[in-house]
Structure 1
C-alpha cells in the first residue's frame, strides 16, 4: 500500500525537525531481544544529538525494516551492527548516515542492488524459512529517496551492509 502511494506521489509525509538519535534508539530497542532470541546480538553506536528534517514515522519504519531484515538473515551467533552519525555533504549541508551491517551465511549472487527491487527474493526458499514478502528493502529505498537521500548496499566476504543517508 505504501509503495502504491509513493508511486502516486501521495505518501503524505509529515516533515519536521526530529532528533534522529532518539528516534533510532527508541525504534532499535525492541530488536535487541529479537536478535538474542534468534541467536544473534544487536550492537548499537548511535551518535547523540543527530537532527534531521524528516517524517518521524517513516524514519522509524526504515529502522524497523532494516533491523527486521538483519535479524531474519544474519548468520546465527553473529553481531548485527547498527550505527548512526552526522555527516556533511559539501556546501555545509548536513545529513545523517544510518548503517546496518551483519554477517550472512551466503551473500546473494549477482547485483546486490537488486535487493531493493520490489518482491525480489535472493533465494526463493527463504520465504518459507524466514517469512517476508520481498518489499521491505524497496520501502527503505523509497522512503530514503522521498527524503532527498539514498539507500545503498555493499558486501564484502560474508558481510552485508545497508547504508541509508537522510
Structure 2
C-alpha cells in the first residue's frame, strides 16, 4: 500500500496482512448495498498507519460493537446483502493485527461502518542509524 506516493512500511508477515485485509474487504462487500462503493484509505499517525475500510449500509447496533471480534459472534444476518460468513473472519483479523503489535477497531453510524486497522510504522521501529 502507498500513502502520498510512498510505500507504507510496516514490519510483519505480508501474507498475514493480506489475509487480514482480504477478510475486512470480504466483510465490507457482504454488507454493502448493491451499487454502492467501499472506500479504502490510509491515514498517517505519528507512529502508526491506519488502514480504513468503510462501507455504506445498515449500522451495526451499538450493543454488538464490543463483541464483533469474538470468534463465531454474528450480528443479525438480515443486515447482509449476500452470502453468509462463518463468524471467524473478524476474529482472525484481530489476531493477526495484534500479533503485529497493532489494533483493529470498528465505528458504525447511520451513514457507514468503518473498520480501522492500525499497525506500527516501520521507520518508528528501526533506529535512525540503520537507514
Q: TM-score, normalised by structure 1?
A: 0.63
Q: Paired residue for 1:107?
A: 59
The gaps in structure 1 that reach 5 residues or longer are: 1-20, 23-45, 89-93
Whole-Å Cα distance in 1 between the matches of residues 55 and 39 of structure 2? Answer: 6
How far has the Cα of 1:108 moved from its partner?
2.8
Q: Paired residue for 2:17?
A: 59
Q: Paired residue for 1:122?
A: 75
How far has the Cα of 1:84 moved from its partner?
2.1
Q: Paired residue for 2:91?
A: 138
Q: Count residues with an aligned counterpart.
A: 116
Q: Paired residue for 1:164?
A: 117
CA RMSD of aligned residues (A): 1.9
Deviations 1:14-68 (A, max 9, x none): xxxxxxx16xxxxxxxxxxxxxxxxxxxxxxx54321011111111011100101
Whole-Å Cα distance in 1 between the matches of residues 77 and 45 of structure 2? Answer: 37
Whole-Å Cα distance in 2 between the matches of residues 97 and 57 of structure 1? Answer: 18
Whole-Å Cα distance in 2 between the matches of residues 137 and 62 of structure 1? Answer: 8
How far has the Cα of 1:158 moved from its partner?
3.4
The gaps in structure 2 that reach 5 residues or longer are: 120-131
Q: Work out whether residues 56 and 111 of structure 2, in 8 Å CA contact, stay in contact via their aligned partners in 1.
A: yes
Q: Paired residue for 1:147?
A: 100
Whole-Å Cα distance in 2 between the matches of residues 124 and 77 of structure 1? Answer: 20
How far has the Cα of 1:113 moved from its partner?
2.7
Q: Paired residue for 1:37?
A: none
Q: Work out whether residues 116 and 138 of structure 1, in 8 Å CA contact, stay in contact via their aligned partners in 2.
A: yes
**Larger relative contact order (C-alpha < 8 A, sep ≥ 6)?**
2
How far has the Cα of 1:124 moved from its partner?
4.2
How far has the Cα of 1:126 moved from its partner?
6.6
Higher helix share: 1
Q: TM-score, normalised by structure 2?
A: 0.79
Whole-Å Cα distance in 2 between the matches of residues 124 and 81 of structure 1? Answer: 23
| Other structure's SS at 2:21 match | helix
